[in-house]
């Protein structure tokens, strides 16, 4: 065990994966000599050579298409999209190609080894194009897995699982926590199961559900709530697609209340899917409407970012409203 | 960083005409060699294998268009007019080279040994379809034959082919052997307008990927003529910009195509670099059975090109060589026709893939939620057994 | 009034719009001489000239970017994406550019005149890539409007409104109904309001909600239900973004039950958003969980399309289940 | 359909070297004309206007990098080294021509008259920012000055510029006047790898759009050198493929840049067609204040380019012309420095845009659901008035 921040945990996962299997490659804009604009791929080119950790030309659709070809060939590419805000030029390759590759070929071909990593989220004064949380766009796409860690330990374990998983995975990293989240992480390889939500803490009055950077917010809100004698059960979804309905449903059956939070705009966000599913599974247990605390239905702002963000106070207020419905 | 070396002191703009790109031609329209031209190193066996694949494809296409008209297929799309461009390139590659096509290259799949029966299974979406009945007709694929399953979204295979080839290069390095396989990637001149074309060509060049790109410039993208597709000199003129070795060939001239392709494969392997071939040809038929070209081009234009039929030209050369006879031609045509019709009939009798295939291959294993959805579906179908076809009707 | 099919209604809307305002342009793959692969732009080039109705090169990202530039300049472009399955290469231009154009510039610039039209949906033996219903991907994007008509009269009225609307609109046309849906349509110009749901028929036991081609399915299911004395209220959402929450909520408050149906895969589909919103608005009125009848969470199939589709029988069964919850 | 005319009978591959692209140079590094070179038609007033815009920008950039280090700005990005490439092109255009830039072209905005105060409002996201404080620093835009608001996603402005220019063409036709305005579109050599580049260039060519594309080839895209960006001869070599008239210039040579740009604009209007200018230069500073170039390039390389400073070279020429003096230089530098610092201080005092701006401009009018969300937000903020800054702190 060493102390690592989330970025170091990502780097360590890549390092372990590249050391263990020489089919593992890292590619993307500026990931080579420079080690990526956030330095997630630091030293990997030095260690594993230019052929296995390399800069691509500046084209996300190209990065994605190239990585798909590599994966189809039997390589295990980990492609970085520099910011999640810039994943959209690759949308066709990810959603129409990677996600459907195995299915459309009748399993003659697949892109088993494929992983996309990308930093997402706000809170860094990044404005419209360095703050987005586009996870919901990918969660509507059968064939993909979508994974979002919330701390360094998860980041490494889940990324190693994503790389090992025989399906294309989109892995979003909460960049606000890259350096801010620090924790104990083994230096050696390990995996954490995909599609398993994690019950962070048990509670009896309400279930709070989120993923990624939003977990820290929920924790702070739960602390505020506890001071008012509201007992929160905290769940970290970890994998959004396919997601762990059972764990969430069991919790809501117990607590009778659910609050979901994400940074992305409300309408069409993944909280909607969860709410729709849980109201179906837990209809008779629900004591109040499922609450959503999310970004506003606007592009991501800059000057009023603090007001825009679904912070702990907004979550806390929503908890109280839900409890006192 | 690279800096250009020469300088000038008067503003001069370069234009397309500064780089005239000639067309490689070896066989004239009578099937004779042009003066000074040299036939490629093709023995009789290979020449006939190529010719037979071209002929088979022509006959398959004719029969399937009829079958579609009769309502026996939902959709079809022919290679007619471009058989030399397709088989002539594919034949210069090894079976271990990956082919990543657009959709009009069934002739290359035939060249690799795809059987009439296999074509039919795919076209009819029956239980024998390697693709499990999931894609429209002509979206073939075969792992065994190293022919990547066709995907409808255009040009997506271009950066994929670059990546595939890069993987081939690394695998050879990992295994400590010389590079002995590469990727052959086809696309149309229309698809070459997509952003993925640019991404793929540029990445192949800068990352030194052993891939041979074959652009079938057949004059049209559905109804859009090349004059409304680009303003430069075809697709070949773009090769220069990418720093990719490039050649243009008469796509209706089997020997020119084969010569260029054999040379291109050699360059790809030796230099570990991409090569671009632009094959100038013409889509003799409609875009697909859903299309009617009379709305956008003239009969005369079509007739002019029909005169340049690549199969006819190849045949004249073969006859000249003494490698083929009219008798053999007739026998081959009859054989293929009856084979195709026989297999069509046989394959029509087969049921569609199992219902379970609705949810397999979305992931490596169906996840819980999908299994639940499927179980609910089965329960529903059992409630209305007469409302859902469990066997394929004539209508797929 | 004339009898028109849905395709003719679309063509008539374009014709009227081009006649009324010479800034209106039609562009896209094969829309020129040929009039589009479905012939939605038939005769427009003849009538209005090559400059105003023209083929583009084969590049959806180019079509979208070009149309955005036109709109920013003050033109009123109606860009066709040949199939909704091929809209993904244009995703970045639509979602990151068009949607955010006015906001990011502080209203210095806008793409007021912009409309994308695209045929969507299954039921035509089109397999993976000629059948998709990608509306939910766009509904998670503030700044866009998303409109889907269900019959010829709506198609014309809503398309004319989309073209006139001072915001970028994505207009999906149910291609299964292009020739199948026929109705009376005025030849002259008219508009229908955006963001207003239409109550197709009143009922008291359950609200059925859908859009586009799925309306026909709901109608057939409602007929079956009526035979079993279940009274359905049918609502056609018409505009998905921003959608008419009030009309739907009022109906569900009355009926106590809601069923939503779409062809797209369930997870992340727009029914989830509606369910999440309505359970919040109508929590105390709901007598059973909100039901979703949708496509499976798979790519769109071919051989088993009939089984895959959320047809009238599946809707009918879901109605009964909801009623007898 | 177009068919190529010449033919050959031996396979020959064309390569990048078949089309050597020279660089237009007019001023040598001492600021003297090359033998045989002709200065463009620039009078003293315009020459000084250009020079002042270059100088102002350099000073603005220096001051703002310091301000960022002091924590007064969140982010900044300089034009340093490329001022001639930017102002030299912009100056050849009319104010009624639309400029669509990437983000490193603040010098062209200055040339059009953007004030130090306006720069500061944007950089500080205060209530005077034309962009209403929504985008990161340097994402300027001004309707009045026909400078399209900068957008971060790279290369998206390229097809947009083609469309904009097509609209300009149609508007002139509609109004029955000669085409008298066009579009000037900037992008970096890195952005030229995006699919949107290909789409935009090709569409501009085939749809005959009056747009002048200026590729600033400054050697790097963040850390990625051109050798890892493309394998061809720069970006100019791609112009040929699109059938676009193309010229390469020494981007540090103001006179060469201006000459090419003036000629390019003429062609764009006369031929109603796109033109491509590749300006060879160097990004003297870091990519942005978030970057540290020492990780990927050498001090020596930077120093070599610092010797070729475009401002210094232009200044020498101006001095030679007798149009400028060291005294004026000093005065101008001091004036700009104090202006920038004065405005920085003044603008820092202004509050951020009103909270309502969170929901305006998403649509032409806020729809109900957004108004509701906003009302709820305001209620929440009122519950915790001390937790949310209503005025900008130092931290934006
Ligand atoms: C991304 C995408 N856009 C549009 C289409 C619809 N489409 C299918 S084939 C075709 C024309 C392709 O022309 P070309 O590349 O020249 O190939 P050809 O048919 O001439 O062989 C079009 C527009 C598609 N399949 N994919
Ligand atoms: C679509 C997209 N991908 C990635 C980025 C991140 N990014 C910002 S600037 C840049 C490099 C651009 O290089 P170049 O075009 O050469 O312009 P320069 O900075 O050299 O002026 C990158 C990768 C982005 N803004 N947009
Ligand atoms: Mg073609
Ligand atoms: Mg650059």
Q: Which of A106, A139, A166, A240 would you mutate first to test chain B, the one with the most B CBs within 10 A? A: A106
Which chain D residues are closer than 8 Å to C71 by Cβ?
163
Q: What is the structure's pLDDT at D393?
A: 38
Q: What is the mean pLDDT of residues A78-91?
A: 98
User: Would you give the end-to-end CA distance of chain C in angstroms?
Assistant: 45
D283 Cβ closer than 6 Å to some ligand 2 atom: yes
Q: How far apart are CA D389 and CA D352, in angstroms?
A: 10
Taking the CA atoms of chain C, what radius of gyration do you get in angstroms?
A: 19
pLDDT for res D395: 35
Residues D289 and D70: beta-carbon distance below 8 Å: no
Q: Determine contact, residues A147/A239, Cβ cutoff 8 Å.
A: yes
Q: pLDDT at position B15, please?
A: 81
Average pLDDT over residues D169-183: 97
Interface contact D18, partner B, CB < 8 A: yes
| Nearest-angstrom CA–CA distance, D169 and D186 | 20
C28 DSSP assignment: E
Q: Is the pLDDT of residue B393 over 90?
A: no
Nearest residue CA, atom 11 of ligand 2? D221
Which atom of ligand 1 lies closest to the CA of B191? 15
| Contact at CB, C58 and B136, closer than 8 angstroms | no
Q: Identify the pLDDT of residue D390.
A: 62
What pLDDT sits at residue A240? Answer: 98
- Give residue for tokens 């130090």: D116
The mean pLDDT value for D299-326 works out to 98
> Which of B4, B24, B225 has its CB closest to that of D233?
B4
Cβ contact A106–B361 (<8 Å): yes
Strands (E), D1-142: 7-8, 23-24, 98-100
Cα(B264)–Cα(C275) distance, rounded to whole angstroms?
58
pLDDT, one tens digit per residue, over B36-74 is 999 999 999 999 999 999 999 999 999 999 999 999 999
Cβ within 8 Å of A, C 166-225 = none
Rg from Cα positions in chain B: 23
Q: Which residues contact A230 (CB under 8 A, 6 or more apart)?
A: A205, A206, A319, A320, A323
What are the DSSP E strand ranges found in D43-161? 98-100
pLDDT in tens, B162-201: 999 999 999 999 999 999 999 999 999 999 999 999 999 9
β-sheet with C291-295: strand ranges across: C198-201, C232-236, C206-210, C258-265, C291-295
- DSSP code per residue over A261-273: EEEEESTT-HHHH
The closest alpha carbon to A144, from A168, A115, A171, belongs to A168
Chains that touch B (3 or more CB pairs under 8 A): A, C, D
Grouping H, G, I as helix, E, B as strand and the rest as coil, residue C263 is: strand
Confidence of residue A65 (pLDDT cuts 50, 70, 90): very high
Across the beta sheet with D23-24, what order do the strands follow? B7-8, D23-24, D245-250, D275-280, D211-217, D183-188, D98-100
Q: Closest approach of chain A CAs to the CA of C94, in angstroms?
A: 10
Q: Is the pLDDT of residue D2 over 70?
A: no
Q: Which pair of tokens denotes residue C188? A: 């002259």
Is the C-alpha dihedral spanning B155, B159, B163, B165 positive or negative?
Answer: positive
Residue C282: alpha-carbon gap to chain centroid: 26
To the nearest 5 percent, what fractions of chain B are helix, strand and coil? 45, 10, 45
Residue A281, φ and ψ in degrees, nearest 5: -70, -30
Place of tokens 């870091």: D286
B183-188 and D224-225 strand pairing: unpaired
Distances (CA, A) of A279 to A247, C297, D155, D358: 14, 19, 44, 31
For the segment A205-230, the average pLDDT, to the nearest whole number, is: 98
C118: nearest Cα among C100, C131, C99, C101: C131
Q: How confident is the model at residue B11 (pLDDT cuts 50, 70, 90)?
A: confident
Burial class (CB in 10 A: 0-12, 13-18, 19+), C250: middle
Half-sphere exposure of B304 (CA within 13 A, CB side): 8
Told to judge if C130 belongs to the known catalytic residues of this protein, a careful annotator would answer yes
Strand B275-280 with B245-250, pairing: parallel
Beta carbon of B191 within 6 Å of any ligand 1 atom? yes
Which residues make Cβ contacts (< 8 Å) with residue D197, sequence separation at least 6?
B198, D155, D158, D187, D191
For ligand 2, atom 20, name the residue with the nearest CA. Answer: D221
Lowest-confidence region among B126-140, C40-54, D379-393: D379-393
Contact residues on chain A for D133, CB-CB shorter than 8 A: 301-304
Position A232 scores a pLDDT of 98
Overall average pLDDT of the B331-348 stretch: 98
Beta-carbon count within 10 A of D358 CB: 26
% of chain A with per-residue pLDDT over 70: 100
How much is the average pLDDT of D254-263?
98
Ligand 4: centre distance to CA A130 (Å)? 20
Checking if the pLDDT of B118 tops 80, the result is yes
Could you say which DSSP state residue B118 is in?
H
Handedness of CA C160, C161, C163, C168 (dihedral sign): negative
How close does chain A come to D185, measured CA to CA in Å? 18
* Beta-bridge mates of residue C120: C174
Helix (H, G, I), strand (E, B) or coil at B76: coil
> How many CA within 13 A on the CB side of residue C186?
9
What is the reported pLDDT for A4?
A: 98
Contacts of D289 (CB under 8 A, 6+ apart): D65, D68, D69, D73, D75, D76, D77
| Chains within contact range of chain C (3+ C-beta pairs < 8 Å) | A, B, D
Mean pLDDT of all residues in chain B?
Answer: 95
Provide the pairing of β-strand C232-236 with C198-201: antiparallel
Q: Is the pLDDT of residue B344 over 80?
A: yes
- Counting ligand 1 atoms within 8 A of each CB, the residue from C61, C79, C82, C118 with the most, and so the one to mutate, is C82
- Chunked into runs of 10 residues, chain C (325 residues) has average pLDDT values of 97 98 98 97 98 98 98 98 98 98 98 98 97 98 98 98 98 98 98 98 98 98 98 98 98 98 98 98 98 98 97 98 97
Give the range among B118-122, B382-386, C71-75 with minimum mean pLDDT. Answer: B382-386
Q: Quickly state the pLDDT bin for B18 (edges 50, 70, 90).
A: confident
Minimal Cα–Cα distance from B372 to chain D, Å?
Answer: 35
Q: What is the pLDDT of residue B392?
A: 37
pLDDT tier at B390, thresholds 50, 70, 90: low
Active-site hit among C60, C97, C135, C216? C60
Tokens linked to C203 = 């009922």
Task: Encode B124-192 in three state secondary structure.
Answer: CCCCCCCCCCCCCCCCCCECCCCECCCCCCCCCHHHHHHHHHHHHHHHHHHCCCCCCCCEEEEEECCHH
Check CB contact of B135 with chain C, cutoff 8 Å. Answer: yes
Residues of D in Cβ contact (< 8 Å) with A61: 194-195
Size of interface A-C (CB pairs under 8 A): 139
Which residues of chain D does A39 touch, with a Cβ-Cβ cutoff of 8 Å?
A: none
Gap between the Cα atoms of B302 and C233, Å rounded = 56
Check CB contact under 8 Å for C127 and B135.
yes
Q: Write out the two tokens for D167.
A: 């609209």
The residues, any chain, with a CB within 8 Å of residue D235's CB and separated by 6 or more, are D189, D192, D215, D217, D276, D278
Which one of the listed residues C29, C80, C97, C130 is annotated catalytic? C130
CB D57 within 8 A of CB D247: no
Quick check: D220 and D283 in contact, CB under 8 A? yes
| pLDDT at residue B395 in the model | 35
Per annotation, catalytic residue among A60, A80, A135, A233: A60
Q: A100-133, pLDDT tens digit by residue?
A: 999 999 999 999 999 999 999 999 999 999 999 9
Q: Which of B101, B188, B199, B296 for mutating ligand 1's site (highest number of atoms within 8 Å of CB)?
A: B188
Q: Which ligand 2 atom is nearest residue D192's CA?
A: 15
CA distance D204 to chain A (A): 20
Buried b (16+ CB within 10 A) or exposed e, C198-229: bebeebebbbbbbbbbbbbbbbebbebbeeee
Verify whether residue A60 is a known catalytic residue: yes
Which pLDDT band, with edges at 50, 70 and 90, does B396 fall under? Answer: very low
Task: Report how far ligand 3's centroid is from the alpha carbon of C93 (Å).
Answer: 26
User: Distances in Å between the alpha carbon of C137 and those of A64, B88, C85?
Assistant: 19, 43, 12
Question: Is it the case that residue A194 has pLDDT exceeding 50?
Answer: yes
With vertex at residue A220, the alpha carbon angle to CA A219 and CA A226, rounded to the nearest 5 degrees, is 85
Question: Which atom of ligand 2 has the smallest separation from the CA of D287?
Answer: 19
Q: How far is D196 from chain C (nearest CA, A)?
A: 6
Asked if pLDDT for residue B324 goes beyond 90, the answer is yes
Q: Which of D105, D158, D189, D191 should be mutated for ligand 2, with most atoms under 8 A from CB?
A: D191
Structure confidence at residue D15 (pLDDT): 82
Give the ligand whose atoms come closest to the C-alpha of residue D188.
2
Q: What is the arithmetic mean of pLDDT over B338-345? A: 98
- Identify the pLDDT of residue B40: 96
For residue D8, give both structure tokens. 């050959």
Question: Residue whose CA is closest, atom 19 of ligand 2?
Answer: D221
How distant, in Å, are the alpha carbons of A46, C295, D357 from that of C54?
Answer: 52, 36, 39
Q: Nearest-CA residue of chain A relative to C282? A: A289
Give A29-64 pLDDT, tens digit per residue: 999 999 999 999 999 999 999 999 999 999 999 999
Q: Hey, whose CA ends up nearest to atom 12 of ligand 2?
A: D221
Three-class SS of residue C258? strand
Inter-residue contact C307 to C275 (CB < 8 Å):
no
B7 class by beta-carbon count within 10 Å (0-12 exposed, 13-18 middle, 19+ buried) = middle
| Ligand 2 contacts CB of residue D218 (under 6 A) | yes
What is the bridge-based pairing of β-strands D183-188 and D211-217? Answer: parallel
Q: Which of C59, C105, C240 to mutate to test the interface with D (most CBs of D within 10 A)?
A: C105
The pLDDT of D181-210, averaged and rounded, is 98
pLDDT confidence of residue B47:
98
Whole-number Å distance between alpha carbons of B11 and D26: 9
Handedness of CA B227, B230, B232, B238 (dihedral sign): negative
E strands within chain B? 7-8, 23-24, 98-100, 183-188, 211-217, 220-221, 224-225, 245-250, 275-280
Nearest ligand to the CA of B280 is 3
pLDDT per residue over A133-153, tens digit each? 999 999 999 999 999 999 999
């Amino acid at each position: 065990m060493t102390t690592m921040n989330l970025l170091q945990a990502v780097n360590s996962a890549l390092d372990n994966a590249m050391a263990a299997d020489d089919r593992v490659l890292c590619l993307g804009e500026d990931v080579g000599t420079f080690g990526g604009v956030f330095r997630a791929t630091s030293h990997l080119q030095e260690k594993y050579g230019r052929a296995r950790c390399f800069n691509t030309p500046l084209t996300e659709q190209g990065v994605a298409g190239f990585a798909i070809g590599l994966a189809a060939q039997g390589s295990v590419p980990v492609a970085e999209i520099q910011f999640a805000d810039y994943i959209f030029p690759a949308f066709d390759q990810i959603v129409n190609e990677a996600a459907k590759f195995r299915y459309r070929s009748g399993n003659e071909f697949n892109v088993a080894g494929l992983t996309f990593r990308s930093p997402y989220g706000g809170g860094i004064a990044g404005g419209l194009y360095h703050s987005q949380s586009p996870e919901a766009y990918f969660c509507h796409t059968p064939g993909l897995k979508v994974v979002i860690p919330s701390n360094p330990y998860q980041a490494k374990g889940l990324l190693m699982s994503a790389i090992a998983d025989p399906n294309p995975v989109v892995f979003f990293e909460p960049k606000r926590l890259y350096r801010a989240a620090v924790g104990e992480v083994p230096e050696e390889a390990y995996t954490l199961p995909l599609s398993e939500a994690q019950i962070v803490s048990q509670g009896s009055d309400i279930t709070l559900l989120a993923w990624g950077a939003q977990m820290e917010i929920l924790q702070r809100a739960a602390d505020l709530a506890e001071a008012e004698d509201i007992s929160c059960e905290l769940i970290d979804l970890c994998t959004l697609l396919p997601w762990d309905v059972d764990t969430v449903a069991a919790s809501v059956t117990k607590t009778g209340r659910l609050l979901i939070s994400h940074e992305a705009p409300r309408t069409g966000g993944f909280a909607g899917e969860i709410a729709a599913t849980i109201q179906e599974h837990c209809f008779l247990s629900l004591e109040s409407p499922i609450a959503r605390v999310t970004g506003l239905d606007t592009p991501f702002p800059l000057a009023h970012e603090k007001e825009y963000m679904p912070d702990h106070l907004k979550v806390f207020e929503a908890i109280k409203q839900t409890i006192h419905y | 960083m690279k800096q250009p070396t020469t300088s000038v002191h008067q503003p001069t703009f370069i234009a397309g005409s500064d780089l005239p790109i000639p067309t490689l031609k070896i066989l004239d329209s009578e099937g004779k060699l042009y003066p000074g031209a040299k036939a490629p190193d093709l023995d009789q066996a290979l020449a006939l294998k190529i010719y037979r694949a071209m002929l088979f494809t022509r006959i398959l296409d004719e029969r399937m268009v009829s079958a579609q008209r009769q309502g026996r297929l939902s959709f079809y799309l022919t290679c007619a007019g471009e058989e030399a461009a397709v088989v002539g390139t594919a034949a210069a590659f090894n079976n271990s080279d990956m082919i990543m096509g657009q959709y009009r290259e069934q002739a290359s799949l035939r060249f690799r040994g795809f059987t009439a029966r296999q074509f039919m299974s795919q076209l009819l979406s029956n239980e024998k379809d390697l693709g499990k009945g999931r894609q429209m007709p002509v979206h073939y694929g075969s792992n065994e034959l190293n022919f990547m399953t066709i995907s409808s979204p255009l040009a997506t295979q271009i950066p994929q082919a670059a990546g595939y080839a890069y993987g081939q290069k690394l695998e050879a390095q990992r295994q400590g052997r010389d590079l002995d396989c590469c990727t052959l990637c086809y696309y149309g001149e229309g698809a070459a307008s997509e952003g993925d074309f640019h991404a793929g060509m540029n990445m192949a060049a800068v990352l030194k990927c052993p891939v041979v790109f074959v652009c079938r410039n057949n004059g049209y993208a559905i109804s859009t003529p090349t004059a409304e597709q680009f303003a430069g000199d075809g697709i070949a003129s773009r090769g220069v910009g990418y720093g990719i070795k490039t050649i243009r060939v008469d796509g209706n001239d089997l020997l020119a195509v084969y010569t260029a392709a054999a040379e291109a494969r050699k360059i790809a392997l030796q230099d570990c670099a991409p090569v671009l071939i632009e094959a100038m040809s013409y889509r003799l038929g409609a875009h697909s059975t859903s299309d009617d070209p009379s709305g956008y081009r003239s009969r005369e234009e079509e007739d002019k090109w029909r005169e340049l039929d690549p199969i006819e030209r190849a045949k004249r050369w073969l006859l000249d060589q003494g490698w083929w006879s009219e008798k053999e031609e007739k026998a081959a045509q009859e054989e293929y026709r009856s084979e195709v019709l026989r297999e069509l009939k046989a394959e029509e009798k087969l049921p569609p893939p199992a219902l379970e295939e609705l949810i397999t291959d979305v992931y490596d294993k169906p996840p819980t939620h999908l299994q639940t959805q499927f179980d609910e579906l089965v329960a529903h179908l059992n409630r209305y057994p007469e409302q859902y076809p469990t066997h394929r009707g004539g209508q797929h």
